[in-house]
Structure 1
Amino acid sequence: MSKRTHTRRGTTRPIRLLGDPVLRTECDPVRTFDAALERLVDDMFVTMYEEDGAGLAANQVGVGLQVFVYDCEDDKGRRHIGHVVNPRLVAADGGTLVEPEGCLSVPGLRFETPRHAHAVVEGMDVKGRPARVEGTGYFARCLQHECGHLGGGVYLDVLSGEARREAMRAIRDLRG
């Protein structure tokens, strides 16, 4: 288990893998802010830590709701831990960084992935209060990655050229 911790309890849920239709389905907005939503967020943190991830979207554990959790550092080494319900990526700018990126739903594979150096996400917390998260560097990458999941995408979708060809070959080889 990862050394990172979340203060609440939760239960590990199975990660859905590439090919599962839930990953390609746009998630529904959360309309009810209750104990079930809090349990989902707790379970997502426990699952993310168990799998040693930096972020996790609800559809990656089979729940088609607009929720993600994160625990990662920005480009200045500051650690960010939290969640966003009904997130909207309202800014993605600051130049493009191309770095290796992976995904818990595509285990064992990492590809050079272009992402903006700065991102801003607005949404709510589990109580329905407004939330705004701003990140740079790796944290900006995480915010863009998780918002992409909730729209029915995976990070492979943003690849192009040789990186995309390499990714498709690697996935074909895995499927045998």
Structure 2
Amino acid sequence: MALLPIVTAPDPVLKTKAKPVERVDDEIRTLMDDMLETMYAAPGIGLAAPQVGVSKRVIVIDISPEGEGPNPLYLANPELLWVSDHDASYEEGCLSVPEYFGEVARPAEIRLRYIDRENEIRELEADGLLATCIQHEIDHLDGILFLDHLSSLKRNMVLRKLLKAKKSHSLPSYAAAS
């Protein structure tokens, strides 16, 4: 496994729609493993392939509480089948938008279909933090950042600060990418 550089906003790869994978083979499994190692090292609870500069519809997630051991989810080509009518709000952050957080409302419950690490088609129902994390990562696959859910004033302020930090190379070490 290898640590991958995390791409930070406003890099254009983060605004590009990722391509579906044909199948989960050894190459995709290696990508998933490297993404998981990168996510744990950052540290984070979710990571999408575009965040490491790979335009593929691949996500890894682990929301296990600290001390309980890892319980990762490997999702290729995740597709929302259903979302609830009621929303839940969480303060979201993002490894591609280091040190910034914002309150985002998303559907509280979801059902999705995806291809797992063994190339099997699965369905999953999720609520709470897991539902939020899955939706956040699927947004990455569609070229959407959590900042896009905030007011344009706050979004533009954060993006200006990130661009300035990128130019001065003052981003956290896990975020110094590409």
Common topology (TM > 0.5): yes
Specify the alignment match of 2:88 in structure 1: 97
Specify the alignment match of 1:170 in structure 2: 158
Letter in 2 for 1:156: L
Residue 13 in 1 paired to residue 4 in 2? yes
Structure 1 window deviating more from structure 2 (34-43 vs 119-128): it is 119-128
TM-score (norm 1): 0.83
Q: Considering only aligned residues, what root-mean-square deviation do their CA atoms show, in Å?
A: 2.0
Specify the alignment match of 1:114 in structure 2: 105
In structure 2, what is the Cα distance between the partners aligned to 1:170 and 1:26?
22
Residue 159 in 1 paired to residue 150 in 2? yes
Residue 25 in 1 paired to residue 13 in 2? no
Larger relative contact order, structure 1 or 2 (CA cutoff 8 Å, min sep 6): 2
Shift of 1:174: 4.0
In structure 1, what is the Cα distance between the partners aligned to 2:87 and 2:23?
36
Specify the alignment match of 1:46 in structure 2: 37
Shift of 1:94: 4.8
Task: Output one character per residue of 1:37-82: Cα deviation in whole Å (capped at 9) or x when no partner.
Answer: 11000001000000111100011011111010000159xxxx8521
Instruction: Give aligned pairs, total.
Output: 161
Letter in 2 for 1:42: D
Letter in 1 for 2:9: L
SS across alignment from 1:143:
helix
Gaps of 5+ in 2: 165-178
Shift of 1:97: 1.7
TM-score (norm 2): 0.83
Quick one: percent identity of the two aligned structures? 37
- Of 20, 26, 35, 1:35 maps to 26
SS across alignment from 2:90:
strand
In structure 1, what is the Cα distance between the partners aligned to 2:54 and 2:162?
26
**Structure having the larger proportion of residues in strand:** 1
Cα distance 1:27–1:175, how it changes in 2: closer, same or farther (>3 A)? closer
Gaps of 5+ in 1: 1-9
SS across alignment from 1:72:
coil
- Contact map agreement 2:97 2:162 (CA 8 A) in 1: no
Letter in 1 for 2:96: S
In structure 2, what is the Cα distance between the partners aligned to 1:138 and 1:108?
19
